[in-house]
Amino acid sequence: MSALTDSEYRAADAVELASLVASGEVSAQEVVECAQARMGAHNDALNAVVWPMPDHASDTLSNLPAGPLSGVPFLVKDLNLAWANTRLTSGSQFMKDLRVEHDAPLASAFKASGVVAIGKTNTPEFGITGTTEPALFGPCRNPFDTSKIAGGSSGGSAAAVAAGIVPIAHASDGAGSIRIPAACCGLVGLMPSRGRTRSPGPIGDVFHSYSRHFVVSRSVRDTATMLDAVADDSPYAPPRDGRAYAQRRDPGALTVRFSGSTPGGRPIDPQISAALARAAALVESLGHRVEEKCLDVDYRNFYRHFGVVGSAQLVADVDDDTRSMGREPEPGEFEPLTERNLSYGRSRTGAKVIHALRAVRAFTREVDAHFAEMDVFMLPVLGVPTPKIGYLDPVALEPAEQDKRSAEVFPFTPPFNGTGQPALSLPLGTDDSGMPIGIQFVARYGNEDVLMQLAYQLEEAAPWAHRYPEL
């Protein structure tokens, strides 16, 4: 058995690390120690990991499951997912002392894959914003430039993976919260179809839930391997053909449309436009049929109703949290944006929520009609280069100003939370300062396989694994 150096650990993805452990070339203990050493060396600068879990890691190593990613260090986003015998703060001062005793089904599936959880990651309060700057833990910083955001709400997970602390980490997405941090930090970020993965708990046990839990990673095969490991096999999951997502095969000539048109008509930054055009040319060079064409749908009506449903679900979630805490929140315990959204949600009647759900469903049919003529829709993730920390601060800004700036920075992600479709961010560009630019690929509901096979081609044609931040 040979020693694993820090540089070797940093360069390996999750599949490679699991292979090294399975072959006996290195031990799982040694791999986890590498992860913990990198966490100790870099986390102070990033504020990505908020709860180290050395005892949990030791317990897992003493009885390691023989899964496809056995021995791979892993981090858990501190939002909504119950991971037995850990804190679950959801980034909120109100919940800073909450502990959970049992695993959610998705947590059990992660554990069965063989990963070793070494900590929990930073997240904004209740995952509301596209930046990770909670009052409870403070801002998470991007390892490519610590003056800039890591995205949100899975910012801590994305920053830790980009920094090489772990090769893969839990993430979740209710309006872009997997794709946005993946784009900011140069990672692979798949939001699976609604219902594709095992249940994360009550947050996912809603017929038309916007939120989907999965991972961020550095390689397509890591994402595909984990999707195979945690995919739901119940009758309520989207159908699939039985083939493994991790099995690479020729997708054939796909019809791909792309557009940089924003729902509000605001122009995007020229650097983002240029990255999208280059990515479209790359897709075409791989033999796919590519044309520039926007989705002709009523985005304005969608957004009007999207917020009604989202705020109502926030109220239900906070009601559950209040019962778990055994007390009511005190004045000022919630951040201003949370207070505003709770107030908005409580003002909506059941009838208004039903009307909103019907409108979102109608929007879903509008979007799906376009996918009868294409396999993949391609668009940016962010409308501007990654902003500085503070530009989207949910604590310092008035909620209306935060809304305005978020619409400028993140105009492209929420519609596909509403439709339930799978959407994938790939790090196919960089801006003038060297920061990553994520390009988003959307497929029809249940068609993750199309995204994975296209992603394999793009990763081979335009590799990104060598782009490390200089820590």
Instruction: Judge whether 424 and 178 are in contact, CB under 8 Å.
Output: no
The Cα 314–Cα 295 span in angstroms is: 29
Question: What's CA 383's distance to the chain center, in Å?
Answer: 18
The Cα 351–Cα 361 span in angstroms is: 15
- The active-site residue out of 177, 219, 311, 425 is 177
Other Cβ atoms within 10 Å of 468 Cβ, number: 15
The count of C-alpha atoms lying within 13 angstroms of the C-alpha of 132, restricted to the half-sphere facing its C-beta, is 41
Report angle CA 111, 157, 16 to the nearest 5 degrees: 60
Please report the beta strands in 55-124, taking only residues with DSSP state E, as ranges in sequence order: 73-77, 86-87, 99-100, 116-121
Q: What element of type H or E holds 423?
A: strand 423-430
The Cα 414–Cα 148 span in angstroms is: 22
Instruction: Judge whether 414 and 368 are in contact, CB under 8 Å.
Output: no
Q: Which of 227, 265, 285 is nearest to 457 (CA)?
A: 285
- Map tokens 């390691």 to a residue: 64
The Cα 302–Cα 67 span in angstroms is: 41
Helix 220-230 vs helix 448-461: angle between axes, to the nearest 10 degrees?
A: 160
Identify whether 77 is a catalytic site residue: yes
Identify whether 153 is a catalytic site residue: yes
- The active-site residue out of 70, 92, 113, 153 is 153
Identify whether 273 is a catalytic site residue: no
Instruction: Count each helix (H run) and each strand (E run) in the chain, helices first.
Output: 15, 15
State the SS3 of 250-306. CCCCCEEEECCCCCCCCCCCHHHHHHHHHHHHHHHHCCCEEEECCCCCCHHHHHHHH
Residue 310 φ then ψ, to 5°: -60, -40
Amino acid at 215: V
Residues recognised as catalytic: 77, 153, 177
